[in-house]
Structure 1
């Protein structure tokens, strides 16, 4: 809130230096930016919430202690099911200060995870109509992306684990994740458990999720506003406890995951012509700071790991607010 007050104070001081006949128009641009903030919050948050689940799954392929210095590399396919409740939200004319919905008082519009429909919003700026099409969603029931992972076993019963994905095309945007963590085997201190082929491990890891979408292409008599791209950047700290039971070559794992995520939203891309008059991107990014927040998630996961000599085949199902599926294959280098 403090950032919002400071930015609008600067904005209003800037407007006071303009000629009287244009000050009202710049005030209207301020309202336009507030409407963009309102829309961006409801449009992108379901996608960043889902990104946390996508980054949380299938970090532990085995709760057993691995052989000292063992190196494994793998490739995974992650599948996130988009829930119906996060595919749309309702907008009303009463929500906006500048725009109105063309031909309606309220409508249901897609979030970033929604369908590919769009509606028109219109406003008046100095006697000229400003029109924009609302951003579309990815229009996918399942979001699938591949990633690479690796692990390196230390003599203490610990493992260093990492993962990385290239940017994945989401039709209307991109998704990318990377992360690293440390796993430690706990059952090595309880020989009676391991004699029954029951294993326990704890993992702490960090992941970064970057999700971006095409946003609002707004043209005014002062030039384009330069808010065509909206990014959600999420820093997440995960804590996981896993228990497994080995039955011949099959290992059945159950895990409980707690993660704490910090969300940051920014508009990016090429700045608009209006930057010659006002720092539009800076103003709206300052407003977006006001919706940054921290969230805690509790996630359950069930996984199966099947070993065939140097190969491990794994499937995992994570559940909580969302559902996430993961399948992968890893190779033991040594």
Structure 2
């Protein structure tokens, strides 16, 4: 009787343990495939968002110095700026091939061109499988804008001995498929006050150093897997820029012509910032993605020039400027001096 019962227990237990073993192996395989998917997402995210954060540096670098001239102690001004950035064609798209991916393949092609965050629309799809479940996701679209406009406010207050404090702020500007925001502060010092010859000929010379923070976010990848949604719906680039500028100007009546040399260093960081997906019940996926995104953080130096023209009547100043280098950014401002 005992032998019979043991046989019955074995017949029941063996299929159960076999089922558990198969399920366990299947889930391990799915988790491994999720890891490959993560590698593909990291590769793609760098190609997709980097051109946009590079451009954000130029947007944040422009028109910090309203004039190199020395201001009187206590003078305060407030300006409304409008930035217009021209998106270059070379930064609107990039190439991908099946050999770039560990899990995904391009639907119907071995390689293709897809938009960066600065690009346009696309009908490219990627295919993969998690376990026995097929995935089909669309390649992210870009802002689809040949020019990007954003306004911001800038305030100046004159201190002692030709020194001036500057603050800049913009609310979050809504772009197609994304958002952009910048804020920062700087300090300017007039140099020509120590050179009577320059002052006599209405030539002003000054230097400025400033810090700015830019945040630019875009809709990214909406991926559902057997383990849940991955929560990759939004990616954000954070850019910290430290800048040094030397500017000279010549005054002709109510007109002032200014030229500047600008050098800056920018630190780029990237993070998934959307809502967490349901996969968090199984894996701390978003935390792992953001940990891995640190590997594509980088530091860049830029050198650019800027030319500007300023006109004043009464207490109102109107200024236009063009910053140029790798990219071109234009700025127009209306300033009121209190």
Structure 2 length normalisation: TM-score? 0.92
Give the aligned partner of residue 209 of structure 2: 204
Query: In 1, Cα distance between the equivalents of 2:63 and 2:200?
Result: 25
Offset at residue 38 of structure 1 (A): 0.4
Task: Note the alpha carbon deviations across 1:230-268, whole angstroms, 9 max, x for none.
Answer: 000000000000010111111100000001000010001
Query: In 2, Cα distance between the equivalents of 1:118 and 1:32?
Result: 20
**Does 1:223 find its partner at 2:228?**
yes
**Does 1:332 find its partner at 2:337?**
yes
Give the aligned partner of residue 170 of structure 1: 175
Question: What is the number of equivalent residue pairs in this alignment?
Answer: 316
Query: In 1, Cα distance between the equivalents of 2:177 and 2:138?
Result: 14
SS of 2:233's partner is strand
Offset at residue 21 of structure 1 (A): 2.8
**Does 1:43 find its partner at 2:48?**
yes
Query: In 2, Cα distance between the equivalents of 1:127 and 1:26?
Result: 13
Query: In 1, Cα distance between the equivalents of 2:167 and 2:258?
Result: 20
Offset at residue 269 of structure 1 (A): 1.5
Give the aligned partner of residue 30 of structure 2: 25
SS of 1:64's partner is coil
Offset at residue 118 of structure 1 (A): 3.5
Give the aligned partner of residue 286 of structure 2: 281
Query: In 2, Cα distance between the equivalents of 1:124 and 1:183?
Result: 57
Q: Stretches of 4+ moved more than 6 A in 1?
A: none
Give the aligned partner of residue 190 of structure 1: 195
Of residues 50, 61, 64, the one that matches 1:56 is 61
Offset at residue 68 of structure 1 (A): 1.2
Offset at residue 103 of structure 1 (A): 0.5
Q: Gaps spanning 5+ residues in structure 1: where?
A: 1-17
**Does 1:308 find its partner at 2:308?**
no
Structure having greater relative contact order (Cα 8 Å, sep ≥ 6): 1
Query: In 2, Cα distance between the equivalents of 1:119 and 1:166?
Result: 33
Task: Note the alpha carbon deviations across 1:117-149, whole angstroms, 9 max, x for none.
Answer: 241111011111011111100010000001111
**Does 1:124 find its partner at 2:129?**
yes
1:118–1:135: 8 Å Cα contact kept in structure 2? no
Query: In 2, Cα distance between the equivalents of 1:312 and 1:61?
Result: 9
Moved more, 115-124 or 257-266: 115-124
Give the aligned partner of residue 6 of structure 1: none
Query: In 1, Cα distance between the equivalents of 2:110 and 2:215?
Result: 34
Query: In 2, Cα distance between the equivalents of 1:287 and 1:157?
Result: 47
Structure 1 length normalisation: TM-score? 0.93
Query: In 2, Cα distance between the equivalents of 1:166 and 1:255?
Result: 27
Q: CA RMSD in A?
A: 0.8
Query: In 1, Cα distance between the equivalents of 2:121 and 2:336?
Result: 40
Task: Note the alpha carbon deviations across 1:145-187, whole angstroms, 9 max, x for none.
Answer: 0111100001221100111111111110000000100000000
Query: In 1, Cα distance between the equivalents of 2:288 and 2:103?
Result: 16
SS of 1:139's partner is coil
Q: Gaps spanning 5+ residues in structure 2: where?
A: 1-22
Query: In 1, Cα distance between the equivalents of 2:286 and 2:125?
Result: 23
